[in-house]
A = this chain, B = another copy of it.
Amino acid sequence: MTARPLSDHARLSINDATTKVQWTLEEEIAGYSALGVHGISIWRDKLAACGVAKAARMLAEHGMTVTGLCRGGMFPSDTAAGRQAAIDDNRRAIDDAATIGAACLVLVVGGLPQGSKDIGAARGMVHDGIAAVLEHARAARVPLAIEPLHPMYAADRACVNTMGQANDLCDALGPGLGIALDVYHVWWDPDLEREIARAGKERLLAFHICDWLVPTRDLLLDRGMMGDGVIDIPQIRGWAEEAGYDGFHEVEIFSSENWWKRPAEEVVAVCKERYLTAV
Protein backbone atom coordinates (compact mmCIF):
# COMPACT_ATOMS: atom_id res chain seq x y z
CA MET A 1 0.00 0.00 0.00
CA THR A 2 1.27 3.45 -0.86
CA ALA A 3 1.51 5.75 2.14
CA ARG A 4 -0.72 8.80 2.52
CA PRO A 5 1.00 12.13 1.87
CA LEU A 6 2.72 13.66 4.86
CA SER A 7 1.02 16.80 6.11
CA ASP A 8 3.62 18.37 8.41
CA HIS A 9 7.32 18.26 9.25
CA ALA A 10 7.01 16.77 12.73
CA ARG A 11 8.90 13.61 11.70
CA LEU A 12 11.38 15.16 9.28
CA SER A 13 15.02 14.69 10.14
CA ILE A 14 18.03 15.82 8.18
CA ASN A 15 21.24 13.84 8.16
CA ASP A 16 23.98 16.37 8.46
CA ALA A 17 25.88 14.93 5.50
CA THR A 18 23.22 16.74 3.48
CA THR A 19 24.86 20.06 4.38
CA LYS A 20 28.28 18.51 4.81
CA VAL A 21 30.33 21.24 3.22
CA GLN A 22 28.18 24.28 4.04
CA TRP A 23 27.70 24.09 7.81
CA THR A 24 29.42 22.96 10.98
CA LEU A 25 27.41 20.91 13.45
CA GLU A 26 26.79 24.01 15.56
CA GLU A 27 25.39 25.79 12.51
CA GLU A 28 23.30 22.76 11.61
CA ILE A 29 21.70 22.44 15.04
CA ALA A 30 20.84 26.13 15.11
CA GLY A 31 19.96 26.30 11.41
CA TYR A 32 17.79 23.21 11.03
CA SER A 33 15.94 24.14 14.22
CA ALA A 34 15.36 27.75 13.13
CA LEU A 35 14.05 26.51 9.78
CA GLY A 36 11.53 24.18 11.43
CA VAL A 37 13.33 20.85 11.22
CA HIS A 38 13.55 19.19 14.60
CA GLY A 39 15.28 15.93 13.77
CA ILE A 40 18.98 15.53 12.95
CA SER A 41 21.36 12.69 12.30
CA ILE A 42 25.03 13.37 12.88
CA TRP A 43 28.30 12.12 11.42
CA ARG A 44 31.13 11.51 13.81
CA ASP A 45 33.63 13.79 12.14
CA LYS A 46 31.37 16.79 12.72
CA LEU A 47 30.56 15.58 16.21
CA ALA A 48 34.27 15.39 17.00
CA ALA A 49 34.88 18.85 15.57
CA CYS A 50 32.15 20.30 17.78
CA GLY A 51 32.90 18.23 20.84
CA VAL A 52 30.47 15.64 22.19
CA ALA A 53 29.53 17.46 25.41
CA LYS A 54 28.92 20.75 23.64
CA ALA A 55 26.86 19.02 20.95
CA ALA A 56 24.74 17.24 23.56
CA ARG A 57 24.08 20.57 25.29
CA MET A 58 23.17 22.37 22.06
CA LEU A 59 20.93 19.54 20.86
CA ALA A 60 19.00 19.65 24.14
CA GLU A 61 18.74 23.44 24.11
CA HIS A 62 17.28 23.36 20.61
CA GLY A 63 14.93 20.46 21.33
CA MET A 64 16.40 18.34 18.56
CA THR A 65 15.64 14.64 18.21
CA VAL A 66 18.81 12.80 17.21
CA THR A 67 17.66 10.10 14.80
CA GLY A 68 21.07 8.51 14.48
CA LEU A 69 24.81 8.72 14.85
CA CYS A 70 26.77 7.85 11.71
CA ARG A 71 28.60 5.63 11.79
CA GLY A 72 29.88 2.52 13.46
CA GLY A 73 30.77 -0.65 11.62
CA MET A 74 33.75 -1.21 9.30
CA PHE A 75 34.44 -4.53 11.04
CA PRO A 76 36.40 -6.57 8.47
CA SER A 77 40.16 -6.34 8.52
CA ASP A 78 43.01 -8.54 7.34
CA THR A 79 44.52 -8.54 10.82
CA ALA A 80 43.25 -9.43 14.26
CA ALA A 81 44.57 -6.10 15.50
CA GLY A 82 42.56 -4.31 12.84
CA ARG A 83 39.40 -6.15 13.82
CA GLN A 84 40.01 -5.33 17.48
CA ALA A 85 40.59 -1.67 16.64
CA ALA A 86 37.22 -1.61 14.87
CA ILE A 87 35.54 -3.15 17.90
CA ASP A 88 37.12 -0.57 20.19
CA ASP A 89 36.07 2.24 17.88
CA ASN A 90 32.51 0.95 17.78
CA ARG A 91 32.39 0.97 21.57
CA ARG A 92 33.47 4.61 21.58
CA ALA A 93 30.80 5.39 19.00
CA ILE A 94 28.20 3.69 21.18
CA ASP A 95 29.25 5.83 24.13
CA ASP A 96 29.04 9.00 22.05
CA ALA A 97 25.63 7.98 20.72
CA ALA A 98 24.44 7.54 24.30
CA THR A 99 25.81 10.95 25.29
CA ILE A 100 23.94 12.78 22.55
CA GLY A 101 20.82 10.64 22.97
CA ALA A 102 20.93 9.21 19.46
CA ALA A 103 18.08 6.87 18.61
CA CYS A 104 20.56 4.43 17.11
CA LEU A 105 24.13 3.96 15.98
CA VAL A 106 24.10 3.36 12.24
CA LEU A 107 26.42 0.54 11.15
CA VAL A 108 28.08 0.72 7.77
CA VAL A 109 29.49 -2.71 8.25
CA GLY A 110 32.55 -2.62 6.00
CA GLY A 111 33.61 -4.37 2.81
CA LEU A 112 36.44 -6.68 1.84
CA PRO A 113 39.65 -6.55 3.87
CA GLN A 114 42.73 -5.33 2.02
CA GLY A 115 43.76 -7.87 -0.60
CA SER A 116 40.83 -10.20 0.01
CA LYS A 117 38.36 -11.55 -2.53
CA ASP A 118 36.44 -13.57 0.05
CA ILE A 119 33.15 -11.76 0.60
CA GLY A 120 31.82 -14.70 2.60
CA ALA A 121 34.67 -14.31 5.07
CA ALA A 122 34.05 -10.56 5.27
CA ARG A 123 30.42 -11.24 6.08
CA GLY A 124 31.53 -13.56 8.85
CA MET A 125 33.75 -10.81 10.27
CA VAL A 126 30.75 -8.48 10.28
CA HIS A 127 28.73 -11.01 12.23
CA ASP A 128 31.54 -11.47 14.72
CA GLY A 129 32.20 -7.73 15.04
CA ILE A 130 28.58 -6.92 15.80
CA ALA A 131 28.46 -9.80 18.27
CA ALA A 132 31.50 -8.37 20.03
CA VAL A 133 29.97 -4.92 20.60
CA LEU A 134 26.30 -5.77 21.03
CA GLU A 135 26.42 -6.25 24.80
CA HIS A 136 28.08 -2.85 25.19
CA ALA A 137 25.31 -1.33 23.05
CA ARG A 138 22.59 -3.00 25.07
CA ALA A 139 24.10 -1.76 28.32
CA ALA A 140 24.26 1.78 26.91
CA ARG A 141 20.71 1.46 25.57
CA VAL A 142 21.91 2.39 22.08
CA PRO A 143 20.30 0.18 19.43
CA LEU A 144 22.63 -0.78 16.58
CA ALA A 145 21.13 -0.22 13.13
CA ILE A 146 22.66 -2.26 10.31
CA GLU A 147 22.37 -0.22 7.14
CA PRO A 148 22.34 -2.49 4.09
CA LEU A 149 24.22 -0.57 1.40
CA HIS A 150 23.66 -0.80 -2.34
CA PRO A 151 25.57 -3.70 -3.92
CA MET A 152 27.81 -1.21 -5.73
CA TYR A 153 29.46 -0.64 -2.33
CA ALA A 154 29.93 -4.34 -1.53
CA ALA A 155 33.69 -4.27 -2.07
CA ASP A 156 34.70 -1.14 -0.21
CA ARG A 157 31.96 -0.04 2.20
CA ALA A 158 29.46 -2.70 3.19
CA CYS A 159 29.15 -6.38 2.37
CA VAL A 160 25.62 -6.40 3.82
CA ASN A 161 23.66 -5.40 0.75
CA THR A 162 20.05 -6.44 1.29
CA MET A 163 17.37 -6.21 3.95
CA GLY A 164 17.33 -10.00 3.88
CA GLN A 165 20.96 -10.19 5.00
CA ALA A 166 20.33 -7.62 7.72
CA ASN A 167 17.31 -9.57 8.93
CA ASP A 168 19.41 -12.74 9.00
CA LEU A 169 21.98 -10.99 11.21
CA CYS A 170 19.21 -9.78 13.52
CA ASP A 171 17.85 -13.32 13.72
CA ALA A 172 21.30 -14.61 14.61
CA LEU A 173 22.32 -11.97 17.13
CA GLY A 174 19.13 -10.99 18.93
CA PRO A 175 17.82 -7.90 20.74
CA GLY A 176 19.53 -4.53 20.52
CA LEU A 177 20.14 -4.94 16.81
CA GLY A 178 17.96 -3.56 14.03
CA ILE A 179 18.05 -2.02 10.58
CA ALA A 180 18.42 1.42 9.02
CA LEU A 181 16.41 1.26 5.81
CA ASP A 182 17.71 3.72 3.19
CA VAL A 183 15.56 3.77 0.08
CA TYR A 184 18.62 4.63 -2.05
CA HIS A 185 20.27 1.34 -1.22
CA VAL A 186 17.33 -1.05 -1.38
CA TRP A 187 14.74 0.34 -3.82
CA TRP A 188 15.70 -2.15 -6.54
CA ASP A 189 15.39 -5.27 -4.34
CA PRO A 190 12.65 -7.63 -5.55
CA ASP A 191 12.30 -8.96 -1.99
CA LEU A 192 11.98 -5.51 -0.41
CA GLU A 193 8.31 -5.59 0.59
CA ARG A 194 8.68 -9.03 2.13
CA GLU A 195 11.86 -8.18 4.03
CA ILE A 196 10.41 -4.93 5.42
CA ALA A 197 7.46 -6.93 6.75
CA ARG A 198 9.89 -9.48 8.16
CA ALA A 199 11.85 -6.73 9.91
CA GLY A 200 8.75 -5.32 11.58
CA LYS A 201 8.41 -2.40 13.93
CA GLU A 202 11.01 -3.59 16.41
CA ARG A 203 13.85 -3.79 13.89
CA LEU A 204 13.06 -0.74 11.76
CA LEU A 205 15.21 1.79 13.58
CA ALA A 206 15.59 4.44 10.87
CA PHE A 207 14.14 5.35 7.49
CA HIS A 208 16.49 7.27 5.20
CA ILE A 209 15.34 9.10 2.09
CA CYS A 210 16.84 10.63 -1.03
CA ASP A 211 16.48 9.61 -4.68
CA TRP A 212 18.22 7.61 -7.41
CA LEU A 213 19.06 9.87 -10.34
CA VAL A 214 19.07 8.75 -13.97
CA PRO A 215 21.79 9.01 -15.01
CA THR A 216 23.83 8.63 -11.83
CA ARG A 217 27.21 10.23 -12.54
CA ASP A 218 29.17 9.14 -9.49
CA LEU A 219 28.93 6.02 -7.37
CA LEU A 220 29.19 7.92 -4.10
CA LEU A 221 28.36 11.60 -4.40
CA ASP A 222 25.47 11.90 -6.85
CA ARG A 223 22.39 11.19 -4.79
CA GLY A 224 19.24 13.08 -5.68
CA MET A 225 16.66 15.12 -3.81
CA MET A 226 13.40 13.27 -3.21
CA GLY A 227 11.27 13.58 -6.32
CA ASP A 228 14.16 14.09 -8.73
CA GLY A 229 14.75 10.40 -9.36
CA VAL A 230 13.00 7.09 -9.87
CA ILE A 231 12.40 5.74 -6.37
CA ASP A 232 8.75 5.28 -5.39
CA ILE A 233 9.33 6.56 -1.85
CA PRO A 234 5.64 6.63 -0.82
CA GLN A 235 5.39 2.95 -1.75
CA ILE A 236 8.37 1.98 0.39
CA ARG A 237 7.19 4.24 3.24
CA GLY A 238 3.81 2.53 2.98
CA TRP A 239 5.43 -0.86 3.40
CA ALA A 240 7.35 0.40 6.43
CA GLU A 241 4.17 1.81 7.96
CA GLU A 242 2.34 -1.45 7.39
CA ALA A 243 5.17 -3.06 9.35
CA GLY A 244 4.52 -0.56 12.16
CA TYR A 245 7.18 2.06 11.51
CA ASP A 246 6.17 5.43 12.97
CA GLY A 247 9.53 7.14 13.39
CA PHE A 248 11.32 9.95 11.62
CA HIS A 249 12.17 10.18 7.92
CA GLU A 250 15.77 11.21 7.55
CA VAL A 251 17.02 13.00 4.46
CA GLU A 252 20.56 11.97 3.58
CA ILE A 253 21.97 13.37 0.34
CA PHE A 254 25.59 13.17 -0.76
CA SER A 255 25.78 15.51 -3.72
CA SER A 256 29.13 17.06 -4.53
CA GLU A 257 28.04 18.68 -7.78
CA ASN A 258 24.60 19.98 -6.82
CA TRP A 259 23.22 20.23 -3.29
CA TRP A 260 26.56 20.72 -1.59
CA LYS A 261 27.09 23.74 -3.84
CA ARG A 262 23.89 25.49 -2.79
CA PRO A 263 23.27 27.58 0.35
CA ALA A 264 22.30 25.34 3.26
CA GLU A 265 19.12 27.34 3.85
CA GLU A 266 17.99 26.57 0.31
CA VAL A 267 18.78 22.86 0.71
CA VAL A 268 16.74 22.67 3.91
CA ALA A 269 13.85 24.55 2.28
CA VAL A 270 13.77 22.14 -0.65
CA CYS A 271 13.97 19.15 1.71
CA LYS A 272 10.90 20.50 3.54
CA GLU A 273 8.99 21.13 0.33
CA ARG A 274 9.77 17.73 -1.19
CA TYR A 275 9.00 16.00 2.09
CA LEU A 276 5.34 16.91 1.58
CA THR A 277 5.18 16.16 -2.16
CA ALA A 278 7.53 13.27 -2.90
CA VAL A 279 7.95 11.22 0.29
Which of A's residues lie within 8 Å of B, judged by CB? 112, 116-119, 123, 150-152, 154-156, 159, 161-162, 164-165, 187-190, 212, 214-216, 219, 229-232, 235
Contacts and interface: CB of A to CB of B under 8 A. Distances in A.
20 contacts: A112-B230, A117-B230, A117-B232, A118-B232, A119-B187, A119-B188, A123-B190, A150-B151, A151-B151, A151-B152, A152-B152, A152-B219, A154-B187, A155-B214, A156-B215, A159-B188, A161-B190, A164-B190, A215-B219, A219-B219
A162 B150 contact: no
Nearest to A190: B165
Contacts of A119: 187-188, 232
Copies in the complex: 2
A235 B232 CA distance: 36
A212 B155 contact: yes
Contacts of A162: 190
Interface hub of A117, A156, A212 (most chain B Cβ within 10 A): A117
